[in-house]
Structure 1
Amino acid sequence: MRDARGLEAGPLAVVAEQANLQAITALNAAAEGAGLYVGQPVRDAHAMCAGLVTRARNAPAEAAFLTALRRWAGKFSPWVAEEPPDGLVIDLSGCAHLFGGEAALVQVVADDCTDLGLTVRLGIADTLGAAWALARYAGQGAAPARSGDAVDQEARATRSRAAKRRHWTKGGAAPQVVTAGGGARIAPPGQCHGALSPLPVAALRLEGQVTEQLGRLGLRRIGDLLGQPRAALARRFGRGLVLRLDQAMGSAPEPVSPARATAHFAARMTLPEPIGLRDDLMAAIDRILPVLCARLEAKGRGARELRLEAHRTDQAAQVVQAGLARPSHDPQRIRPLLELKLDGIDAGFGIDMLRIAAVRTEPVHARTVAGHAEAARVVRDRLAGNTALDDLIGKLGARIGLEAITRRHPASSHIPEKSAQTLAAAWSDPAPDWPAPPVPRPLLLWPPEPVTAPDGPAVPGAFRWRGRDWRLAQATGPERIAPEWWLDDPNWRSGVRDYWVVVTEQGDRLWLFYGHGGALSSGWFCQGSFA
């Protein structure tokens, strides 16, 4: 059933797959009135509401619609920011009087949203945290944590022992929260304390675990927290709770950061007939990918991460992403990565629109070279088109993820296990040269393992390690390595180490060291093996 504007009049819910089940991500007022809620499994929702109509979630369309709403909200203030997935934050400082006051401005917002077929909840206060709380929790009381907690057990005889009352409970004027059109709540200037006190602690944007812990302790309203010692709250629940309190009351700044205008690089193709074959998808990609790459090249940018959106005839969207090891605007380098991702697209009843967007871009000239020799090598590689390694990293990253491909780089430390660091291959260049150690280092390193041998700095002629007996054939050393005194490394509290290259009669070359005590007992250990 639809109303005069063509919108669904009955219960409607948007669903998406979460943790291998279909769950509700959004719903209209009729569905909420039927007792449904966000996060509820679809099967339970259908059991509660037989007339429920469901639609698959289209995340790209939701993000685009929120961006369009942000541009519309620019007529009220130039400082507008998005709060995904369904919120906007507006700084109205010096703007409300242009619309006849805050209540009149809220009425304009409500009328515009009604024309758009949207249900809006607004809150206006001195701080962002207070406005967020009023928009979502105004008029809601703190729910009891257990059965019977809602019973008021305070008697007249115990009032002298109760907590200190606020001034408005002693006969003073209570702060007022103005109700405006569209379901908004407007807190008068300087009245955030009184406006937020009766609201539940969840209005402070806390994590669910913290909210549950507060409820078990009987702290279910924001007013219950305002009178508590801050040090005790931070020690028990973390600094996040105190920070949210300060932000809501204005003690900690939380400015609105307007979204800056970003350069969008995208290309799309609308198909006259739905397609679903892999060859048809690649033919469409070959048509729109050069257009996207030409726009990137014109701006001197290269795509680092791309998103392929396949919009189906049932209004659902299949989205896959691909990353590159180096920013590029070459279609021949991007095409194989998108082709590898086509297996993750379910065409359903057909795809009628394809869109490729460069989610993240970088300047293609971001490389910094130093020295004539290095510059000449880079020029030769570019002229020869030596991008085979980058293409290989991109193809492997499309399968297992770019973060899983790493490379080793030298580090500024003389400690053996700290002499190299692991970096992501897609976001780092190969090391130009490695500093040569004073003596060869083993190929395999592991945490020091104890060796059973006679105590003393002299190399033992026989020792036991990993459950085997070993006999010495040759030993080279020692190489003394001292710990980094400016760092407290628990693994090096044994003090100075004397390393030996030991060749056993079995032919193994091991890296043994003798620790000279320190914070730990002295003794022999094995830390590596040469190839």
Structure 2
Amino acid sequence: MPQRRILSLWFPRLGAERVLRQWRGTIDVPFAVLRESGQMQVISSLSVQAEAAGLRVGQPARDAHAMCEGLLTRLQDPLAEEQFLTALRRWAGKFSPWVNQEAPGGLVIDLTGCAHLFGGEEALVKQVEDDCADLHLSVQAGIADTLGAAWALARYAGQAPNATRSGDAIDQEAYATRSRAVKRRNWERGGAAPKLVTGAANTHRIAAPAATHTALMPLPIAALRLPEPTVTSLARLGLRRIGDLLGQPRAGLARRFGKDLVLRLDQAIGAVSEPVSPAKPPLHFACRLTLPEPIGLESDILAGLDRLLPRLQQQLEAKGHGARRVRLQAFRVDQTRQTIEVGLARPSANPERIKPLLSLKLDQIDAGFGIDLLRIEAHQTEPVYQTQHKGHLDAGRDVAERLARNTSFDDLIGRLGARVGLEAITREHPGDSNIPEKTSVTMAAAWSDPAMDWVKPATPRPLEIWQPELVGAPVNPIPPAAFKWRGRHLHLKQAHGPERIAPEWWLDDPNWRSGVRDYWHVDVETGERLWLFYAHGAGLSAGWFCQGRFA
């Protein structure tokens, strides 16, 4: 069986170079792509000229314009970047059929048994660099036995660890101390990390087979795909390179920094497998309408929907699917787009159920100088029929049920969801418990059916239920003639009960450690009807509590 080899490709300037490709080299000034971050805009991608000017990813836009006067910027389009990366994934299929995407801006390829077809791994990397140069893209490649090591080499090979000035690093020691450390290797004293293989210009990113440990040792801790707080905490302890972690006790690392650190380390060295699964081509349901003249009125967009939705219905019905979420994109003449999305309470391909939802959000589209292209896509779908074969009688009954089903309530949920979000519309379902707080379960109305099997409890439940509140009364299971609750002195008029409820012995619920409860319906002289219970607990747990109030 051949040695497993993984190729990781990283496109560090994907967002900026995607836009520059559209301009076909007509712009030769520093360029940056911005993304929204809270109340400000920060840089998400840079061109080569902008990076040479001293700008960096994550820098606020106002600081970048102050440092680089001629900086040209555009807002980030995450959907377009994802689609562009998908196109690059199809291109990478020429090297191996096992290709998948890595966020952000990367591809992972399983090269096992494929590199010799291109003259070896170095020749394959050279082919990748040449193809990307023709596409006007910057790329960094890394090859290793594991996915984690290849990912680390592609992004961090040749880089020095982050310089955290804590005073305990070798490169921060006094000169006299460093002069006595003659047996230390140069890169351990703060110099550049050694190349793993000599030869071609990019071969230091190729780890030889069975040399994963050697390749990972000089790399910084961030190459393990760890969160930034974990990397910072490790650096404060003087652990800046992966080699510093390899000799540490695993139990102590997991106890202090969590299991993710140990998992990432094991994945990188190959102790835990991390397979490369080829991306499955998704079902694609979309259609577009190119307009001869720009439009800007809502009535014109609705007329375009009347042409697009029947075509989308044909695509969905051909695959037996119904749309759950529909996205409408309006492309403007200034090469920008406006997007709206709606969700349906039930999967459907019927234009009469999709169009009213989209019309509710058309006021969010700013036509600008005009819209010259409309595109509609069902990006989240579900099957709308069962694949099980049935006889004529059963099939006829199913058809009759579908035709008789009233979709008005589902359409109402869809309209409300277009305004407030489908997740905000909920319904109650019965819970499998006699505990008052667990007798119902809140579920999203769009992803659940109405409950038909409600079983009423032995005694009515109050309209309002809250956490038990202490009642000032004698510790006696007989309902008190007078008691104090919420700072008021109340007098008993009549009481009905008790209803005894025992805790679930197979669960450790802190609220039910007081043991068995006797619930009473208590009417007081002020006209209120309260839900009191007496807890048969030991010591301080026993006593009277109020948990609800009837209407």
TM-based fold match above 0.5:
yes
CA 1:270/1:21 → structure 2, altered by over 3 Å: closer, same or farther? farther
Query: Is the CA contact 1:234–1:241 (under 8 Å) kept in the aligned structure 2?
Result: yes
C-alpha distance after superposition, 1:302-331 (max 9, x if no partner): 000111222222322222221111101111
CA 1:274/1:397 → structure 2, altered by over 3 Å: closer, same or farther? same
Moved more, 479-488 or 442-451: 442-451
Question: Aligned ranges for residues 23-422 of structure 1 at < 5 Å?
Answer: 23-146=42-165, 151-153=171-173, 176-178=196-198, 180-181=200-201, 185-365=205-385, 382-422=402-442
CA 1:452/1:232 → structure 2, altered by over 3 Å: closer, same or farther? same
CA 1:324/1:127 → structure 2, altered by over 3 Å: closer, same or farther? same
- State the secondary structure of the residue aligned to 2:376: strand
Among residues 459, 466, 479, which one is paired with 2:499 in the alignment? 479
Give me the whole-angstrom Cα distance separating, in 2, the residues matched to 1:519 and 1:274: 79
Amino acid at match of 1:144: A
Number of residue-to-residue matches in the alignment:
521
- State the secondary structure of the residue aligned to 1:122: strand
Q: Say yes or no: does 1:523 pair with 2:543.
A: yes
Query: Is the CA contact 1:57–1:316 (under 8 Å) kept in the aligned structure 2?
Result: no
Give me the whole-angstrom Cα distance separating, in 1, the residues matched to 2:308 and 2:387: 28
Amino acid at match of 2:436: P
Corresponding position of 2:15? none
- State the secondary structure of the residue aligned to 1:105: helix
Give me the whole-angstrom Cα distance separating, in 1, the residues matched to 2:523 and 2:398: 43
Give me the whole-angstrom Cα distance separating, in 1, the residues matched to 2:401 and 2:105: 48
By how many angstroms is 1:31 displaced? Answer: 1.3
Query: Is the CA contact 1:178–1:186 (under 8 Å) kept in the aligned structure 2?
Result: no
Corresponding position of 1:512? 532
Query: Is the CA contact 2:288–2:308 (under 8 Å) kept in the aligned structure 1?
Result: yes
By how many angstroms is 1:156 displaced? Answer: 8.7
Query: Is the CA contact 2:197–2:204 (under 8 Å) kept in the aligned structure 1?
Result: no
- Tell me the percent identity: 63
Query: Is the CA contact 1:305–1:322 (under 8 Å) kept in the aligned structure 2?
Result: yes
Corresponding position of 2:7? none
C-alpha distance after superposition, 1:156-175 (max 9, x if no partner): 98999999999x99xxxx88
Give me the whole-angstrom Cα distance separating, in 1, the residues matched to 2:195 and 2:34: 41
CA RMSD of aligned residues (A): 3.0
CA 1:4/1:349 → structure 2, altered by over 3 Å: closer, same or farther? closer
CA 1:4/1:358 → structure 2, altered by over 3 Å: closer, same or farther? closer
Give me the whole-angstrom Cα distance separating, in 1, the residues matched to 2:500 and 2:276: 57
By how many angstroms is 1:137 displaced? Answer: 0.8
Q: Say yes or no: does 1:17 pair with 2:36.
A: yes
By how many angstroms is 1:381 displaced? Answer: 6.2
CA 1:328/1:518 → structure 2, altered by over 3 Å: closer, same or farther? farther
Query: Is the CA contact 1:110–1:182 (under 8 Å) kept in the aligned structure 2?
Result: no
Amino acid at match of 1:291: R
Amino acid at match of 1:91: D
Query: Is the CA contact 1:495–1:519 (under 8 Å) kept in the aligned structure 2?
Result: no
Query: Is the CA contact 2:98–2:276 (under 8 Å) kept in the aligned structure 1?
Result: yes
- State the secondary structure of the residue aligned to 2:457: coil
Corresponding position of 1:371? none
Give me the whole-angstrom Cα distance separating, in 2, the residues matched to 1:378 and 1:499: 47
By how many angstroms is 1:379 displaced? Answer: 6.6
Query: Is the CA contact 1:233–1:242 (under 8 Å) kept in the aligned structure 2?
Result: yes
By how many angstroms is 1:529 displaced? Answer: 1.5
Give me the whole-angstrom Cα distance separating, in 1, the residues matched to 2:333 and 2:538: 72
Corresponding position of 2:6? none
Among residues 435, 439, 444, which one is paired with 1:424 in the alignment? 444
Corresponding position of 1:372? none
Query: Is the CA contact 2:353–2:411 (under 8 Å) kept in the aligned structure 1?
Result: yes
CA 1:158/1:519 → structure 2, altered by over 3 Å: closer, same or farther? farther
Unaligned runs of 5+ in 2: 1-19, 389-394
Amino acid at match of 2:50: A
C-alpha distance after superposition, 1:321-360 (max 9, x if no partner): 2111110111111112112222332333332222111111
Query: Is the CA contact 1:3–1:9 (under 8 Å) kept in the aligned structure 2?
Result: no
Give me the whole-angstrom Cα distance separating, in 2, the residues matched to 1:515 and 1:2: 73
Give me the whole-angstrom Cα distance separating, in 2, the residues matched to 1:39 and 1:426: 38
CA 1:509/1:4 → structure 2, altered by over 3 Å: closer, same or farther? closer
Give me the whole-angstrom Cα distance separating, in 2, the residues matched to 1:380 and 1:505: 57
Give me the whole-angstrom Cα distance separating, in 2, the residues matched to 1:105 and 1:53: 35
Amino acid at match of 2:213: H
C-alpha distance after superposition, 1:175-198 (max 9, x if no partner): 824564568710101111111211
Corresponding position of 2:17? none
Corresponding position of 2:25? 6
By how many angstroms is 1:278 displaced? Answer: 2.3
Amino acid at match of 1:428: S
CA 1:152/1:288 → structure 2, altered by over 3 Å: closer, same or farther? same
Amino acid at match of 1:62: E
Amino acid at match of 1:362: E
By how many angstroms is 1:365 displaced? Answer: 2.4
By how many angstroms is 1:281 displaced? Answer: 2.1
Amino acid at match of 1:425: A
- State the secondary structure of the residue aligned to 2:171: coil
Among residues 498, 514, 526, which one is paired with 1:494 in the alignment? 514
Amino acid at match of 1:142: P
Give me the whole-angstrom Cα distance separating, in 2, the residues matched to 1:163 and 1:482: 72
- State the secondary structure of the residue aligned to 2:327: strand
- State the secondary structure of the residue aligned to 1:471: strand
